Amino acid sequence: MIQKQYIRTLQTTTCRLTFVLPELIWADSVYVVGDFNGWDMTALPMQQDAQGQWKATIEVEAGGVYQFRYLCDGDWLNDNQADAYYANDYGGHNSVVMTDPGLAA
Protein backbone atom coordinates (compact mmCIF):
# COMPACT_ATOMS: atom_id res chain seq x y z
CA MET A 1 0.00 0.00 0.00
CA ILE A 2 1.17 3.52 -0.73
CA GLN A 3 -0.10 6.50 1.23
CA LYS A 4 0.20 9.92 -0.43
CA GLN A 5 0.21 13.24 1.39
CA TYR A 6 0.53 16.42 -0.66
CA ILE A 7 2.41 19.33 0.88
CA ARG A 8 1.74 22.70 -0.73
CA THR A 9 3.85 25.79 -0.22
CA LEU A 10 3.76 29.08 -2.12
CA GLN A 11 6.53 27.84 -4.43
CA THR A 12 6.05 24.09 -4.83
CA THR A 13 3.96 21.03 -4.17
CA THR A 14 5.66 17.90 -2.98
CA CYS A 15 4.27 14.48 -2.16
CA ARG A 16 5.18 12.52 0.93
CA LEU A 17 4.99 8.83 0.00
CA THR A 18 4.67 6.27 2.76
CA PHE A 19 5.20 2.71 1.60
CA VAL A 20 3.54 0.07 3.77
CA LEU A 21 3.91 -3.70 3.66
CA PRO A 22 1.90 -6.04 5.91
CA GLU A 23 3.24 -7.68 9.03
CA LEU A 24 2.97 -11.00 7.17
CA ILE A 25 6.24 -10.19 5.39
CA TRP A 26 8.86 -12.19 7.27
CA ALA A 27 12.24 -10.68 6.50
CA ASP A 28 15.46 -9.47 8.03
CA SER A 29 15.57 -6.43 5.75
CA VAL A 30 13.27 -4.68 3.29
CA TYR A 31 14.16 -1.67 1.13
CA VAL A 32 12.19 0.55 -1.25
CA VAL A 33 14.26 0.94 -4.41
CA GLY A 34 13.27 3.13 -7.34
CA ASP A 35 13.62 6.16 -9.57
CA PHE A 36 13.35 8.51 -6.59
CA ASN A 37 16.58 7.18 -5.03
CA GLY A 38 18.56 6.29 -8.16
CA TRP A 39 17.76 2.58 -7.68
CA ASP A 40 20.12 2.55 -4.70
CA MET A 41 19.43 -0.77 -2.97
CA THR A 42 20.16 0.56 0.54
CA ALA A 43 19.00 4.21 0.41
CA LEU A 44 15.46 3.70 1.77
CA PRO A 45 15.23 0.95 4.39
CA MET A 46 11.83 -0.01 5.74
CA GLN A 47 11.27 -0.31 9.49
CA GLN A 48 8.68 -2.36 11.35
CA ASP A 49 6.20 -0.42 13.48
CA ALA A 50 4.61 -1.61 16.74
CA GLN A 51 1.99 -3.60 14.78
CA GLY A 52 4.67 -5.30 12.67
CA GLN A 53 3.95 -3.42 9.44
CA TRP A 54 6.96 -2.44 7.34
CA LYS A 55 7.06 1.31 6.57
CA ALA A 56 9.29 3.82 4.82
CA THR A 57 8.64 7.44 3.85
CA ILE A 58 10.17 9.66 1.20
CA GLU A 59 9.26 13.10 -0.13
CA VAL A 60 9.22 13.55 -3.92
CA GLU A 61 8.23 16.19 -6.42
CA ALA A 62 4.48 16.18 -7.08
CA GLY A 63 3.40 15.51 -10.64
CA GLY A 64 5.98 12.76 -11.13
CA VAL A 65 5.70 9.14 -12.19
CA TYR A 66 8.08 6.91 -10.24
CA GLN A 67 8.95 3.27 -10.84
CA PHE A 68 9.97 1.21 -7.81
CA ARG A 69 10.19 -2.24 -6.29
CA TYR A 70 10.71 -3.69 -2.83
CA LEU A 71 13.93 -5.58 -2.10
CA CYS A 72 13.08 -8.14 0.57
CA ASP A 73 16.05 -10.22 1.77
CA GLY A 74 17.46 -10.11 -1.77
CA ASP A 75 14.17 -10.91 -3.54
CA TRP A 76 12.33 -8.32 -5.64
CA LEU A 77 8.63 -7.74 -4.88
CA ASN A 78 6.02 -5.46 -6.43
CA ASP A 79 3.31 -3.52 -4.63
CA ASN A 80 -0.06 -5.14 -5.35
CA GLN A 81 -1.77 -1.74 -4.91
CA ALA A 82 0.54 0.30 -7.16
CA ASP A 83 -0.98 2.86 -9.55
CA ALA A 84 0.40 0.95 -12.55
CA TYR A 85 3.07 -1.55 -13.63
CA TYR A 86 5.70 -0.96 -16.31
CA ALA A 87 7.80 -3.65 -17.98
CA ASN A 88 11.45 -3.54 -16.97
CA ASP A 89 14.63 -4.59 -18.80
CA TYR A 90 14.87 -7.83 -16.82
CA GLY A 91 11.73 -9.57 -18.08
CA GLY A 92 9.56 -8.47 -15.17
CA HIS A 93 7.56 -5.44 -14.13
CA ASN A 94 8.14 -2.48 -11.84
CA SER A 95 5.49 -0.98 -9.62
CA VAL A 96 4.57 2.64 -10.44
CA VAL A 97 3.37 5.44 -8.19
CA MET A 98 1.93 8.61 -9.76
CA THR A 99 2.02 11.81 -7.71
CA ASP A 100 -0.49 14.05 -9.44
CA PRO A 101 -1.96 16.40 -6.81
CA GLY A 102 -5.01 16.89 -9.04
CA LEU A 103 -5.94 13.28 -8.31
CA ALA A 104 -5.69 13.65 -4.53
CA ALA A 105 -8.82 12.76 -2.62
Contact 54, 25 (CB under 8 A): yes
The CATH number of the domain holding residue 12 is 2.60.40.10
Question: DSSP code of 50?
Answer: T
Q: Which residue has the higher pLDDT, 71 or 9?
A: 71
Tell me the C-alpha distance between 81 and 83, whole Å: 7
Domain that holds residue 14: 2-103
Band of residue 5 on the pLDDT scale cut at 50, 70, 90: very high
On whether the pTM is more than 0.85, the answer is: yes
pLDDT by residue (tens digit) across 16-49? 999 999 988 888 999 999 999 999 999 999 999 9
Q: Which amino acid, residue 36?
A: F
Give the pLDDT confidence of 40-92 residue by residue, as tens digits.
Answer: 999 999 999 999 999 999 999 999 999 999 999 999 999 999 999 999 999 99
Total structural domains in the chain? 1
Residue 57: strand pairing partners: 18
- Specify the higher pLDDT residue, 1 or 67: 67
Given phi > 0 = left and psi -120 to 50 = alpha, else beta, which region is 52?
left
Residue 12: per-residue pLDDT: 84
Q: To the nearest 10°, the Cα dihedral for 3, 80, 103, 55?
A: 10
On whether the CB atoms of residues 59 and 14 are closer than 8 A, the answer is yes
pLDDT of res. 105: 47
